Amino acid sequence: GTRRVLVTGCSSGIGLAVAARLAKDELRRFKVVATMRDLGKRGPLEKAAGDSLNKTLEIKQLDACSESSIRECVNSLPDRRVDVLVNNAGLGMIGPLECQSIDAMKELFDTNFFGLARLVKEVLPDMKRRQSGHIVVMSSVMGTQGLLFNDVYSASKFAVEGFCESLAVQALKFNIKTTLVEPGPVVTEFERKVYEDAESMDLSGTDKETAKIFREIYLPYSKKIFASLGQTPEEVAEQTVKVITDKEPPLRHQTNRLYMPMTALKHADPTGRLPLDSFYKMTFKHDKVFNATLAMLHLLKRIGGKK
Ligand code: NAD
C-alpha cells in the first residue's frame, strides 16, 4: 500500500527536494504531507511538485517550535496516521562562540533538537500502537564530528544523534525503524543564510586573532569546500528515498562518501587525539596538507562520480 510520509521544513532545500521526489515516485508508493512553518513560502514547492500537487502531495502548516501546530497538523490526517516522519527542519549557525547570544543558541536548539522531540512525542504513540513506522532525521556529519566554529550547531546535531540512538532500541521493539541521515555540505538556502550572517557578523565580541582565523582561514576554506564537495539537495533526497524504501534501514546513513574517512578517524581512536590533531594541523599548521587533502578529495569525487 501507499505510505504516508510527513516531511518538515519543505519550503526550501533538502525538505523541498525530499517532498517533491517522494510525490513524483513512479511507483506511487507515497502520500506526502509536505509541511512548512510559513505557507506564504509554498511557491517553490508547488512548482517542484508539478502535477503531483494535491494528488500525491499536500501542503500543510507546521512549525517545529510549536506543539499545538504539530498536533493540529497530525490531527488533520486520516487516523492521524504517519507511516514515515522525515524530521528535516533545521537552522545553522557558525562563528566564534563569544559573538553568539545565548538566546540565538536556544532558538537553534528549539528548532534542531526540541523540534524533533516534539514531533516524535506526537507520532510515536500511534506508531507503537500500529507496530510500524519509520523515523527519519536529517542530522549531519557534524552530528558525529564537531568542526571548527560550528560549536552550537554541532552540539544540536549531537543531541539529535544521542536522542535517536537511544530511542532506536525501544522503537525497534515496536517494529519502528530509526534512521539518521548525515549529509556533508549541501548547497541550499542554509549555506547562503549562514554565510550571509557570517559576513555581517559583529566580531567585536572576540579577540583579533580569533576574528582573523574565522574571516581569513575558516570562511574562505569552508566556501571552497561547499563549492567543491557540496551535494545538491536532489542528491540527498534521492538517498533519503532509498533509506525510506530500504527493508532494513540503517541507523545511520552518510550521503557523502568523502566524509566517511572523517568518521573512521573518530572511531579509530577513543582518546580523541587523532581527529583533534588532524583538524588542528589541517587548520593551523599546513596549508599545503590542507590543499593536498582538497586535491585528493576532488580526485576521489571524480572517481566516485563514475561508479
Ligand atoms: P534550508 O534552510 O533550505 O531548509 C531548512 C528548512 O527548515 C527551511 O525551509 C526553514 O524554513 C525550515 N524551518 C526552520 N525552522 C523551522 C520551524 N520552526 N518549523 C518548520 N520549519 C522550519 O536548509 P537545508 O540545507 O535544506 O536544511 C535541511 C536540514 O538539513 C537541516 O536540518 C540541516 O541542519 C540539515 N543539513 C544541511 C546541510 C547543508 O549543508 N545544507 C548539511 C547537513 C545537514
Q: Is the CB of 90 under 6 A from ligand 1?
A: yes
Q: 188 CB under 6 A from ligand 1?
A: yes
Q: Which of 15-24, 40-49, 106-115, 183-192 has the lowest mean pLDDT?
A: 183-192
pLDDT band at residue 303 using 50, 70 and 90 as cut-offs: low
Tell me what the pLDDT averaged over the chain comes to: 92
Helix axes 114-130, 151-173, angle to 10 degrees: 10
Q: Give kind and range of the element (H or E) at residue 234.
A: helix 233-245
The residue type of 300 is: L
Of 71, 160, 190, 234, the one to substitute when testing ligand 1's pocket (max ligand atoms within 8 A of C-beta) is: 190
Residues 6+ apart with CB under 8 A from 117: 163
Bridge-based pairing of strands 133-138 and 84-87 is: parallel
All three cell numbers of 134: 519509520
pLDDT score, position 298: 66
Crossing angle (nearest 10°) for helices 114-130 and 102-112: 20
Active-site residues, by number, are 153
Q: Please return the burial class of 90, using the count of CB atoms within 10 Å of its CB with bins 0-12, 13-18 and 19+.
A: buried
Q: What ligand 1 atom has the least distance to the C-alpha of 65?
A: 18
* β-sheet bridge partners, residue 178: 135
| Ligand 1 site, residue 143, Cβ cutoff 6 A | no
**What angle is formed at CA 187 by the lines to CA 182 and CA 191, rounded to 5 degrees?**
90
User: How far, in Å, from the CA of 288 to the mean position of ligand 1?
Assistant: 33
Q: Which of 186, 187, 232 to mutate to test the pocket of ligand 1 (most atoms within 8 A of CB)?
A: 186
Rounded Cα–Cα distance for residues 117 and 72 (Å): 16
**Residues 12, 46 contacting (CB under 8 angstroms):** no
Band of pLDDT at residue 305, cut at 50, 70 and 90: low
Q: Is the CB of 95 under 6 A from ligand 1?
A: no
Q: Please give the Cα distance from 89 to 108 (Å, whole number).
A: 11
pLDDT-based confidence at residue 266 (cuts at 50, 70, 90): confident
Ligand 1 centroid to residue 10 C-alpha, Å: 8
**Spatial distance between the Cα atoms of 240 and 167, rounded to a whole number of angstroms:** 20
pLDDT value of residue 299: 66
Is residue 91 in contact with ligand 1, taking CB distance under 6 Å?
yes
How far out from the chain centre does Cα 45 lie? 18
Which DSSP category does 54 fall into? T
C-alpha cell at 241: 528515498
**Is the shortest distance between the CB of 161 and ligand 1 below 6 Å?**
no
| 288 pLDDT higher than 70 | no
Average pLDDT, stretch 10-35? 97
ipTM for the complex shown: 0.99
**What's domain 3-259's architecture?**
3-Layer(aba) Sandwich (3.40)
Q: How many CA atoms lie within 13 A of 264 on its CB side?
A: 5
Residue 183: which residues within 8 A CB-CB, separation 6 or more?
14, 138, 140, 141, 231, 236, 254, 255, 256
Taking the centre of ligand 1 as the mean of its atom positions, its distance from the CA of residue 36, in whole angstroms, is: 11
Burial 225-253, CB ≥16 within 10 A → b, else e: ebeebbbebbbbbebbbebbbeeebeebb
Mean pLDDT value across residues 207-235: 91
Going from N- to C-terminal start, the domains of the chain cover: 3-259, 269-307
